[in-house]
Structure 1
Amino acid sequence: MPVQATAIMLGVSDLARAKQFYADLGGTVTQEYPGFARLDLGEGSSSLALYPWEQVAKDAGVSAEGSGFRGFSLHFIVDTSEAVDEAMRDAVAAGATVVKEATATKWGSFGYFSDPDGYLWKVASSS
């Protein structure tokens, strides 16, 4: 069976803040329990599950200590450079921090933002 990412889970420091951030970016909360929220990110996308950071570490049996680049980023591919700029503006309005301003390349444009817990998102255009 080929591997599929049917859900992306993020450990977060403040569940309510993270849930609001992703809802402000257009996600729809589909499940919510104490210590857990799941959001639908739209057709064609994996769902996004949010758990308290410490709980995720405990569940995985690893230390909750960690900082810096995690070797992981989420990517949002859009059709145009204008859509990259719009997505970056929307992210900042929701509480994101711009890590790398959107820049033009020979194939389109891209930029990076981080969510309130430092997870990196790359927004890139396909043209």
Structure 2
Amino acid sequence: MVDMSYVNHVTLEVTDIEAATRFCSGALGLDPGTSRVRLRQVDAPAAGFRGFALTLITAQPADVDALVDAASGAGAAILKPPTKSIWGYGASLQAPDGTVWQIASESKKNSGPPTTDVVEIVLLLGVADVKATKRAYVERGLEVKKSFGGKYVEFASPDGAVNLALYGHDALAKQVGVPAEGSGSHRIVLSSTAGPFTDPDGFVWEAPATA
């Protein structure tokens, strides 16, 4: 029996690793050395929307506000301010290095003092053909958890991993509040036992490093 593949962590490729480290650790509470989001220095050009968004899931709306305030204070641009929706409460922003982040909570009510604790990390990929990319991933050992035709696919993952989901490229850009146009490198690498390979949309997957 083949073990299920999943995303262990993602690596953001940045041009200023010291500044990106300060933002991730200081504003988002993520340790780029050990967390599910890591950093790598590159000089690859990138312009506009890079085709993905990283979502930090929190326990309550107050936590969303706390993280958004910290990110804004650290130089992030607010793309969509925190607001309630049918699915919960959330916001989107763009870090100084260009990465698009969503901060969200499924809860619409607070249950305690605000924290900056992250419950879950979700990587949303905006792809040209959701069904085709889904097939490519399944062939690599990923298992589908939820699927809504050609609009949305969510893959299974164990606790402590990065949850992975697919949207249409333009739909994801609209959701986070940026123009859909972009060029150059995605500037993200997915670490998974499914790798190494490059998927239909040019996202690079690599095998996890071994000790």
Bin for the TM-score computed over the shorter chain? 0.7 to 0.9
Summarize the alignment of residues 1-127 of structure 1 with structure 2, pairs less than 5 Å apart. Answer: 1-24=3-26, 25-28=28-31, 38-41=32-35, 46=36, 48-54=37-43, 64-127=44-107
Asked whether the 8 Å contact 1:80–1:108 carries over to 2, the reply is: no
| Bigger radius of gyration among the two | 2
1:44-100 Cα shifts (integer Å, max 9, x gaps): xx2x2211222xxxxxxxxx3331111100011112222211111121123322111
Give distance in 2, aligned partners of 1:114 and 1:66: 14
SS of 2:92's partner is strand
What is the aligned-residue RMSD (CA, Å)?
Answer: 1.6
Give distance in 2, aligned partners of 1:104 and 1:68: 27
Give distance in 1, aligned partners of 2:64 and 2:101: 12
Give 1:26 shift.
1.9
Specify the code of the residue in structure 1 equivalent to 2:30.
Answer: G
Q: How many residues align?
A: 104
Asked whether the 8 Å contact 1:10–1:50 carries over to 2, the reply is: yes
Which structure shows the bigger proportion of residues in helix conformation? Answer: 1
Q: In the superposition, relative to structure 1, how do residues 109 and 72 fare at CA in structure 2: closer, same or farther (>3 Å)?
A: same
TM-score for both structures, normalised by structure 2:
0.46
Give distance in 2, aligned partners of 1:108 and 1:49: 27
- The percentage of counterpart residues that share the same residue type is 32
TM-score for both structures, normalised by structure 1:
0.72
Task: Give the number of the structure with larger relative contact order, counting CA–CA contacts within 8 Å between residues 6 or more apart.
Answer: 2
Structure 1: which 5+ residue stretches go unaligned?
Answer: 29-37, 55-63
Q: In the superposition, relative to structure 1, how do residues 40 and 93 fare at CA in structure 2: closer, same or farther (>3 Å)?
A: farther
